[in-house]
Amino acid sequence: MSVKPTAVAVSLCMALSLPVLADGLAGIETYQGKPASEHTIKANAELAKRLPWEDTSAFERTQRGLIAPFGSHAAGELKNKFNYMAAMSVKDLPPTVNPSIWRQGMLNYAAGGLYEVTDGVYQVRGADLSNMTIYRSDNGYIIHDPLLSDKAAAAAWDFAKQHLPKINGEHRITGVLYSHMHIDHFGGSRGIIDEQFDGPILAPDGFLKELADENMIGGNAMSRRAQYQYGTTLPNSTKGIVDNALGLGTSDGQVTLVAPTEEISERERWVTIDGLEMLLINMPGAEAPAEMVVYLPKYRSLNTAELTYDGQHNIYTFRGAKVRDALVWTKYLTELKLRFVDSGKVDNIHAAHSAPVWGQAEVSDYMTLQRDNYGFVHNQSMRLANHGVTIHDVGRAIEEIVPESQFNTWHTNGYHGSYSHNARAVVNLYLGYHDMNPVNVNPLTSHDKSCTYVEAAGAGTLVTAGKGHFEAGRYQQASQLLNDVVTCQPDNQKARDLLADSYEQQGYQAETMAWRNSYLQGAYELRTGFVADSLKAASPDVIANTPTGMMLDYLAVRLNAPKAEAAGLDFNFQLIHPELNEVYYGEVSNANMANIQIDKPVEADLTLTISKADLTRVLLGDGTLAERANIKGDAELLGQLKAVLDTFESDFEIVPLPAQKS
């Protein structure tokens, strides 16, 4: 199965229906994990004794301001997928789930309906991974972050309209805000914006560029990796997905994008939309490369976008993205705290995920703990690094010194990001991936390294040792040994089965959503040898709004250097969008492609003149360049270039697959 540039419109269904596998193993419909071992049961029970169960304030915040629950409305479709949790509570601790993430799952499950933050500010929570926030303006409502998919956004807005008053006889959307460029904050835009909409759509500076940058260059790899972070082929059960940290999960439907009418280019700007005044402040480089927060003086309310939520966020995300700056994150939170909270300008904060926080003292304490959580990870990681602790060891070192004030606070626990992998991200940002040990200067490939161990010790010896570690509850040690065997000998079924078992028990003990899902997804693929279709964020709308220069950057990534060298490709080209007065110049030379945007056309071996809209149509499979572009020069170069471009397989191995399936 290959992912071609035209294969971009996808469903975001997280409950994929898989066929019966060739070797007789059932697909996801009947796949179930094994029970928790005695060691896992004990570890989870011991952790449960340390957790601050007496603090139920987050559940109280989640229920505060409820106007109406979803009931049987379509907006509750996502929540209904987790209905097995309805008969359970934080007191019903399943042995196959870390008790802390179970409590986070129950908290996210508790959200499901339309809520009033304050008179004039409302949220639909529980319809998707993110919250839809709604502000009342003079003649209608402003939508802030229209969820991840068109289907979920349409259902959420329909539900809200049933319970919010009409203004001038209608429920009119007067404006739209995108807090940042992750898909769960704009993907539902076509579910609420129709062709008659003529209001402003505002986004942070660099929104479109950063959106394309994150989803194009490494998009295929990111999609495959996301299967592990989000456990996309796992069942919704106590042996599978129990929570996605920021929310229960993601909705079904299409990722869409109605492009912003304007990006806020200044650091901050006062704007008025239909009589509602708000201050938009760009705060990039922390949770997202392009992100803005919103202060609404009329409602004495601050939307913190994704700079706060009930949990520790990612400094590095498993699916793959640019490493985030934990230090600048702390500075943003300090600025917001001093400027709006401690100065008495707001009575509440609300965000893109989780429930709001009310009361000046409560908000100040909340933001202080959130700030110090990221500050602790940043400062202590670099303190340890300056003592010589390496990137591979700093995660364990950080875990040993987490302050009790953070451990005993639910909303700083590692549900999305963990202390361990965030600490490694901080060190990577400053010092890079290399630990300076000479053995890692030019490391063996993963396969060759594993086979070195297997050849020295013998596969049987390693499997026996791995089994001993497993039986003693030392699952990480077991996995280390067994992974080498399976990497070197992917058809060693005994090692595969035992490695899957060891991953599974680590998943059952993991507090962090991405850890749990990664372990359990790895166990699933080891047992079944099956890799499902990956999920893509590059929808037709995203493709249509991707700058042409970034399209060419992606084309350069697809160029297969050995093939280009063998073909002797050496030419220059230009692509002209006449309606935009844009000219892009490129060269293919030395088995590489480079491009820049230039001011005016030049002489070139090949010139393509085509509108941006027609180029998008070609990329989506509607026609060819020969049909839609004016081609000048050597047209045969197009065929020669096409012959050396890779298509990317979306089912590449993460855990080794059996040879007959790889």
Sheet with 113-118: list strands edge to edge: 66-69, 113-118, 121-125, 132-136, 141-144, 173-177, 201-204, 262-264
Place of tokens 């490391």: 443
DSSP 8-class letter at 34? P
Helices then strands (H, E): number in the chain?
24, 21
Residue 57: what residue type? S
Query: For the chain, what's the residue count?
Result: 662
The total of other beta-carbon atoms located within 10 Å of residue 355's CB is 27
Residue 214: CB partners within 8 Å, gap ≥ 6?
181, 222, 289, 321, 322
Which pLDDT belongs to residue 660? 61
Strands 173-177 and 201-204: parallel
Residue 400: CB partners within 8 Å, gap ≥ 6?
none
Give dist(CA 522, CA 520) in Å, integer: 5
Give dist(CA 124, CA 582) in Å, integer: 41
Residue 267: what residue type? R
CA distances from 233 to 32, 227, 400, 407, 533 (A): 11, 7, 33, 31, 9
CA distances from 378 to 178, 287, 333, 477, 579 (A): 28, 14, 14, 28, 47
Domains of the chain by residue range: 2-372, 444-509, 546-648
Q: For residue 314, which of 301, 326, 302 has the smallest C-alpha distance?
A: 326
Positive or negative torsion for Cα 134, 135, 141, 145? negative
CATH T-level assignment (fold) for domain 444-509? 1.25.40
User: In a 3-state reduction of DSSP, which class is residue 142?
Assistant: strand
Which pLDDT belongs to residue 535? 63
Place of tokens 């086979």: 451
**Phi-psi region for residue 231, left (φ > 0), alpha (ψ -120 to 50) or beta?**
left
Place of tokens 């919704």: 236
The total of other beta-carbon atoms located within 10 Å of residue 658's CB is 15
Residue 579: CB partners within 8 Å, gap ≥ 6?
611, 612
Give dist(CA 155, CA 160) in Å, integer: 9
CATH T-level assignment (fold) for domain 546-648? Nonspecific Lipid-transfer Protein; Chain A (3.30.1050)
Give dist(CA 307, CA 340) in Å, integer: 15
Give dist(CA 173, CA 153) in Å, integer: 13
pTM above the 0.85 mark?
Answer: yes
Residue 279: CB partners within 8 Å, gap ≥ 6?
268, 269, 270, 271, 294, 295, 297
| 158, containing H or E segment | helix 150-161
Place of tokens 């003149």: 609
Query: What are the per-10-residue average pLDDT scores of the chain (662 residues)?
Result: 29 26 47 95 97 97 98 97 91 96 97 98 98 98 97 98 98 98 96 94 96 86 92 91 94 94 98 98 97 98 98 95 96 98 98 98 98 98 98 98 96 97 98 96 97 98 98 98 98 97 98 97 94 74 89 95 98 98 98 98 97 93 93 96 93 87 51
**The domains spanning 2-372 and 444-509 adopt the same CATH topology:** no
The string of DSSP letters for 279-311 reads EEEE-TTSSSSSBEEEEEGGGTEEE-TTS--SS
CATH number of this structure's domain 2-372: 3.60.15.30
CA distances from 473 to 108, 217, 478 (A): 31, 41, 9
